[in-house]
Chain A
Amino acid sequence: MNLWLWILIACALAYLTKLVGYFVPAKLLQSPRIMHIAGTMTIGLLASLTVVNALASGQGLVLDARIGALAAAAVALWLRAPFLVVVISGAAAAALLRLLGWG
């Protein structure tokens, strides 16, 4: 039940964030610092999410099949594969490594 509450708050915040943009004077867009921080923060969050999903297990760090998924995805991206192919490569690598008994 508690989780529902946070889900709904997250939904409200997501919508309000989008809506607030429509009521902000366009002038603010010209603040290079705000634009820049929006950019750096997105990179930081995505990098962190990648690492957490690849390595974290609760409060521990583990090397398991997910690291194979990370490597496979990196190779696919390097080869300029489309998004869906990258995701499928990650899943396939993790599934295959588990089939082989690792992670």
Chain B
Amino acid sequence: MSGGPAVPLKLRDSPAFKIALSLSIATGLYGVSFGALSVASGFDFFQTMVLSLLLFSGGSQFAFIGVVAGGGSGVAAMTASALLGLRNGIYGMQINAMLRPRGWRRYISAHVTIDESTATASGQSDPDEQRRGFWTAGIGIFILWNIFTAIGALAGDAMGDPKQWGLDGAAVAAFLALLWPRLKGREPWAIAAACALATILAVPFVPSGVPILVAALVAGVIGWFSHARMDEGLEPDVDPYAEKREHGHGHSRSGNGGDQ
């Protein structure tokens, strides 16, 4: 909690700035594995960079290249990526309610509205801190993520068979690590298990990429019928424990149910 005074604050004394900076570095470094994995999945350097520059949402980017790597079609990749990015729309609503960006700023802030920038902002109570956290994480991650994507894409080419380095194992680990912090309580576990099972059952019968959509449908149906107030699924993507550590994960904002 910042609760800081409204007087001008030195940037390095700002808690939101520090959180945003460490998240930027952790997330940015991870761009290396996106770049390398993307090239290993058959994307060229420019396609990889366009995904990081324009799509700019880690989960969706990995989903896109993951579907294609598994032999899926472009349309299946696009659909998986779009579905996985839906939560960013909800983040957009939250940031808009918090920061009220106007004019051209709104169009820039939309682009950097991702898990980490939203989580950093919503962990703060002071509006100035929210603003600092959002923009530092958003812009910081954008810059570092793209630099490291480029490094990974260029180094990936020279690395030989990426499987030898376990890069496909890195992707498995990354997805599990993104999922893990969301598994709080019984219902999230049940949803994850049901969707994992649905995926396994679907793989032999439908084209690559489609099992993910089957799982999304299963999750959507479960969500439709079980909509007790929940707030899973909206945690920061990168550091599974940042939320608890930095923001004291809790139930203090039951008003909108979106950002704990």
Contacts and interface: CB of A to CB of B under 8 A. Distances in A.
A5 B233 CA distance: 30
Contacts of A57: 70
B64 interface: yes
B1 interface: no
A103 B161 CA distance: 14
B173 A37 contact: no
A76 to B, nearest CB: 8
Chain B contact residues, majority secondary structure: helix
Interface in B49-63: 50-51, 54-57, 59-60, 62-63
Q: Chain A: interface residue count, which band?
A: 35 or more
B153 interface: no
Nearest to B239: A83
Contact of B191 (A47, A84, A87): A47
Contacts of B234: 38-39, 42
Contact of A14 (B85, B165, B180): B85
Interface in A61-101: 61, 65-66, 68-70, 72-74, 76-77, 80, 82-84, 86-96, 98
Given A21-B110, A36-B227, A48-B198, A14 B188 contact: no
Interface string B93-122: 111110001000011011101000000000
Chain A contact residues, majority secondary structure: helix
A72 B27 CA distance: 21
Given A3-B47, A48-B215, A18 B179 contact: no
Contact of B233 (A3, A10, A39, A89): A39
23 contacts: A5-B74, A6-B75, A11-B55, A13-B81, A14-B60, A14-B82, A15-B54, A15-B110, A19-B110, A20-B89, A21-B96, A32-B257, A33-B227, A36-B226, A41-B83, A46-B192, A48-B214, A48-B215, A50-B172, A56-B70, A61-B200, A83-B26, A90-B169
Interface of B: 26, 29-30, 33, 43, 47, 50-51, 54-57, 59-60, 62-64, 66, 68, 70-71, 74-75, 77-78, 80-97, 101, 106-107, 109-111, 113, 163-180, 182-183, 188, 191-196, 198-200, 203-208, 211-212, 214-216, 218-220, 222-224, 226-234, 238-241, 255-258
